[in-house]
Amino acid sequence: MENNHDHILILDFGSQVTQLIARRVRESGVYCEIWPFNQADEDRIKAYNPKGIILSGGPCSVTDADSPRAPDCVFTMGVPVLGICYGQQTMTVQLGGIVEKGDHQEFGRAYVDVKEHCTITQGLWEKGAYEQVWMSHGDRVTKIPDGFTVVGTSKGAPYAFIANDEKRFYGVQFHPEVVHTPHGAALIKNFTHAVCGCAGDWTMAAFRAEAIEKIRTQVGDKKVICGLSGGVDSSVTAVLLHEAIGDQLTCIYVDTGLMRAGESDQVVDLFREHYHIPLIHEDAGKLFLGALEKIDDPEIKRKAIGALFIDTFEDVAGRIGGADFLAQGTLYPDVIESVSFTGGPSVTIKSHHNVGGLPERMNMGLVEPLRELFKDEVRALGRELGMPEDFIRRHPFPGPGLAIRIPGVITPEKLAILRKADAIYLEEIANAGLYDTIWQAFAVLLPVKTVGVMGDSRSYEYVCALRAVTSTDGMTADYYPFPHDFLGRTATRIINEVRGINRVVYDITSKPPGTIEWE
Ligand code: XMP
Phi, psi of 312 (to 5 degrees): -65, -45
d(CA 413, CA 417): 6
Q: How confident is the model at residue 323 (pLDDT cuts 50, 70, 90)?
A: very high
Residue that wins the pLDDT comparison between 352 and 325:
325
All residues at 6 or more sequence positions from 279 whose CB lies less than 8 Å from its CB, including other chains: 228, 250, 251, 252, 253, 268, 271, 272
- What secondary structure does DSSP assign to 246-302, as a single string? GGGEEEEEEE-S---TTHHHHHHIIIIIIS---EEEEE-HHHHHHHHTT---HHHHH
**Ligand 1 center to residue 399 CA distance, Å?**
8
**Is 483 buried (19+), middle (13-18) or exposed (0-12) by CB count in 10 A?**
exposed
**Ligand 1 center to residue 351 CA distance, Å?**
9
d(CA 264, CA 281): 9
For the CA of 229, the nearest atom of ligand 1: 15
Residue nearest to atom 7 of ligand 1 (CA): 474
Q: How confident is the model at residue 4 (pLDDT cuts 50, 70, 90)?
A: confident
Confidence check: pLDDT of 343 > 90: no
pLDDT of amino acid 358: 74
pLDDT of amino acid 61: 93
Q: How confident is the model at residue 354 (pLDDT cuts 50, 70, 90)?
A: low
CB neighbours (10 Å) of residue 263? 17
For the CA of 396, the nearest atom of ligand 1: 24
Residue nearest to atom 9 of ligand 1 (CA): 398
Q: What percent of the chain has pLDDT over 90?
A: 88
Confidence check: pLDDT of 118 > 70: yes
Cis peptide before 483 (omega within 30 of 0): no
d(CA 160, CA 135): 9
For the CA of 439, the nearest atom of ligand 1: 24
What residues are in contact with ligand 1 under a 6 Å CB criterion? 350, 352-354, 396, 398-400, 440, 474, 511, 515-517
Average pLDDT over residues 275-291: 97
For the CA of 514, the nearest atom of ligand 1: 5
Average pLDDT over residues 443-461: 96
Are 117 and 151 spatial neighbours (Cβ–Cβ below 8 Å)? Answer: yes
Confidence check: pLDDT of 138 > 90: no
217 residue type, one letter: T
Confidence check: pLDDT of 68 > 80: yes
pLDDT of amino acid 353: 65
Residues with active-site annotation: 85, 175, 177
Confidence check: pLDDT of 382 > 70: yes
Residue that wins the pLDDT comparison between 108 and 93:
93
**Ligand 1 center to residue 299 CA distance, Å?**
13
- What secondary structure does DSSP assign to 480-506, as a single string? ----HHHHHHHHHHHHHH-TTEEEEEE
**Ligand 1 center to residue 9 CA distance, Å?**
30
For the CA of 351, the nearest atom of ligand 1: 17
End-to-end CA distance of the chain: 37
Average pLDDT over residues 301-330: 94
Write down the mean pLDDT value for the chain.
94
- Return the best residue to mutate from 334, 517, 518, 519 for the ligand 1 pocket (most ligand atoms within 8 A of CB): 517
For the CA of 517, the nearest atom of ligand 1: 2
**Ligand 1 center to residue 352 CA distance, Å?**
7
Are 425 and 438 spatial neighbours (Cβ–Cβ below 8 Å)? Answer: no
Residue nearest to atom 6 of ligand 1 (CA): 474
**Ligand 1 center to residue 213 CA distance, Å?**
33
254: closest CA among 290, 287, 234, 283?
A: 283
Confidence check: pLDDT of 1 > 70: no
Residue that wins the pLDDT comparison between 93 and 333:
93
For the CA of 395, the nearest atom of ligand 1: 24
d(CA 438, CA 275): 29
What are the CA-CA distances from residue 213 to residues 227, 245, 323 (Å)?
22, 10, 20
Strand, helix or coil for residue 381: helix
Average pLDDT over residues 310-329: 94
Phi, psi of 232 (to 5 degrees): -65, -45
Average pLDDT over residues 174-203: 96
Q: Calculate the CA 83 to chain-centre distance.
A: 24
64 residue type, one letter: D
d(CA 14, CA 57): 7
Average pLDDT over residues 82-109: 92
Q: Encode pLDDT of 28-37 as tens digits.
A: 999 999 999 9
Confidence check: pLDDT of 107 > 90: no
d(CA 94, CA 55): 13
Q: Encode pLDDT of 181-193 as tens digits.
A: 999 999 999 999 9
Average pLDDT over residues 221-249: 96
Phi, psi of 222 (to 5 degrees): -85, 175
d(CA 67, CA 162): 22
355 residue type, one letter: V
d(CA 141, CA 340): 25
Residue nearest to atom 20 of ligand 1 (CA): 398
231 residue type, one letter: G
- Return the best residue to mutate from 328, 352, 402, 507 for the ligand 1 pocket (most ligand atoms within 8 A of CB): 352
**Ligand 1 center to residue 519 CA distance, Å?**
9
Cis peptide before 359 (omega within 30 of 0): no
d(CA 196, CA 360): 42
**Ligand 1 center to residue 353 CA distance, Å?**
8
Pairing relationship of beta strands 7-12 and 52-55 according to DSSP bridges:
parallel
- What secondary structure does DSSP assign to 149-207, as a single string? EEEEE-SS-TTSEEEETTTTEEEESS-TTSTTSTTHHHHHHHIIIIIT-------HHHH
Confidence check: pLDDT of 304 > 60: yes
pLDDT of amino acid 441: 98
pLDDT of amino acid 457: 93
Q: How confident is the model at residue 404 (pLDDT cuts 50, 70, 90)?
A: very high
pLDDT of amino acid 105: 79
Measured at the alpha carbon of residue 80, what is the angle toward residues 77 and 85, in degrees to the nearest 5?
Answer: 115
